[in-house]
């Protein structure tokens, strides 16, 4: 089994950048009435989903948390 080449610092940087990219995408390409607040909310949810995927080792708990987070905006 091959291990990840990402260090913990780079993994958390990836989590943060994923949220920023998601927020930017929603702000630029989202519905015309979605403002900065909605874009930031989406970015936070995406970051939380990636953080759960990275930090939680139990697959059942991980899937439950991601399912709950997907119910947010």
Please write the tens of the pLDDT for every residue from 16-46.
999 999 888 888 888 877 788 888 888 888 8
What integer pLDDT is reported at residue 58 of this predicted model?
92
Query: Residue 2 pLDDT > 60, yes or no?
Result: no
Which residues are within 8 A (CB) of 22 and not within 5 positions of it... i.e. 6 or more apart?
A: 42, 43, 46, 47
CB burial of residue 50 (10 Å; 0-12, 13-18, 19+): buried
- Give the percent of the chain with pLDDT over 70: 92
Predicted confidence (pLDDT) at residue 55 exceeds the cutoff of 60: yes
DSSP secondary structure code for residue 1 in this structure: -
For residue 43, give every residue at least 6 positions away whose Cβ sits within 8 Å of its Cβ, in sequence order, or none: 19, 20, 22, 23, 24, 26
């Amino acid at each position: 089994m091959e291990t990840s080449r990402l260090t913990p610092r780079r993994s958390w940087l990836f989590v943060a950048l994923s949220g920023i990219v998601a927020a930017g995408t929603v702000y630029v390409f989202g519905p015309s009435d979605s403002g900065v607040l909605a874009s930031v909310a989406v970015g936070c949810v995406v970051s939380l989903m990636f953080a759960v995927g990275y930090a939680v080792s139990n697959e059942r708990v991980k899937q439950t948390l991601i399912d709950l987070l997907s119910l947010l905006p």
